[in-house]
Amino acid sequence: MNPGTPVKILKEIQQSLKKITISAIKEIKNIDNISELNNFKSKYLGKNSLVFFYFKKLNTIYSLERIKCGKILNSFKRDFQKIITKKKQKIKNNLLNSKNNEFFLDSSLPGRRVERGSVHPINLVISQIQDIFHYWGFLTYSGPELENKYYNFDSLNIPKNHPSRSINDTFWLDPNFVLRTQTSSVQIRILEKYSYPIKAIVPGKVYRRDYDNTHTPMFHQIEGLIVDKSISFSNLKWILENFIIKILQKNVKVRFRSSYFPFTCPSAEMDIQNKSGDWLEILGCGMVHPNVLKNFDIDCNVYSACAFGVGVERIAMLKYGISDIRCFFENDIRFLKQFV
């Protein structure tokens, strides 16, 4: 080995480290995030850096000169690490300060009022209706809103030419499926699955093509069903008359008018009298049609059944004195605050 080589390497290292230091100091000033700082560290101290190259080259020079060069490189490396550590802490402090400024709390500002929420009036009425019927021994059931035409029409004794099957009245998704027009479809599912006697209510959404101040395309209905021995229309009347008194929390005059539903016979509609003396329809009811019971091999000589369908929005409108059903679905905070 040429004796002059170590001296040349020592000078070369000193000159190179001086240039690196000048370049690095300029570059580190523009770094403002940890990711860039890590890249900076790899560039000047990593395996592909000039410093690492000189560390490897120490094995080619004399031991005395190797020690001198090694001290210079190690000193440079320590100083460089200190610079990087200092810069890293500065970046972290800047990030913390920016977060503190983002969530700065001005104690001189007035406090923000926390608004109280409440149960939506429709859910409130559904819950109250359920409580009344649970007290009388009814159980709550549910079913799909996307319904097969068999459950929505055929099994309920609704003929194929009935107006409710028209696309003008019902939301058809395809020739076999509809958005259910009544919760009576769940009545069929209950009769399929459970044994008798049955006392059931079915709250849920139903869909019809209708929209004005007393109708919406989607509304809520509660179906009621009783299947037992010796059930008569007088049982049905007693339940509905007492239900209306309990849900409206006042005595009201009621009447039953003869009506027609394909799935009940006899059928009736129940009206109540308002303050001005007018009669308002609030629900439909009747004895379950024998054809419906026969579909499930129920002996009509032993068992009988009654059913009713209550419009929840209609009850809520009467209970709270609301004239337009659309108020329930417009999400007007001024309206909803009345029920807090």
CATH (domain of 250): 3.30.930.10
Q: Considering the chain, what is the average pLDDT of its residues?
A: 86
pLDDT tens by residue, 114-156: 777 788 999 999 999 999 999 999 999 999 999 999 999 999 9
Residue 277 is assigned to a structural domain of this protein: yes
Do 134 and 21 lie in one domain? The reply is no
In a domain, 163, yes or no: yes
Specify whether 24 is located in the same domain as 135: no
Instruction: Indicate whether 279 and 317 sit together in one domain.
Output: yes
Secondary structure class of 2 (helix, strand, coil) = coil
Number of domains in the chain: 2
Same domain, 80 and 228: no
| Residues contacting residue 269 through CB under 8 Å, at least 6 positions apart | 256, 257, 259, 281, 283, 284, 285
Strand 254-261 relative to strand 218-229: parallel, antiparallel, unpaired?
unpaired
Q: Look-up: residue for tokens 């001024």?
A: 334
Rounded-to-10 torsion of CA 238, 241, 243, 244: 180
Q: Looking at the structure, do residues 151 and 287 belong to the same domain, yes or no?
A: yes
Same domain, 241 and 206: yes
Residue 91 belongs to a domain: yes
Same domain, 164 and 208: yes
Residue 80 has a CB neighbour count (10 Å cut-off) of: 19
Domain boundary among 102, 133, 156: 102
Considering the domain architecture, whether residues 138 and 224 belong to the same structural domain is answered as yes
Calculate mean pLDDT across residues 320-330: 87
Domain-located, residue 116:
no
113 occurs within a structural domain = no
Model pLDDT for residues 2-40, shown as the tens digit of each residue: 444 556 777 777 777 777 778 878 888 888 888 888 888
Residue 66 domain boundaries: 5-102
The answer to whether 202 and 226 have CB atoms below 8 angstroms apart is: no
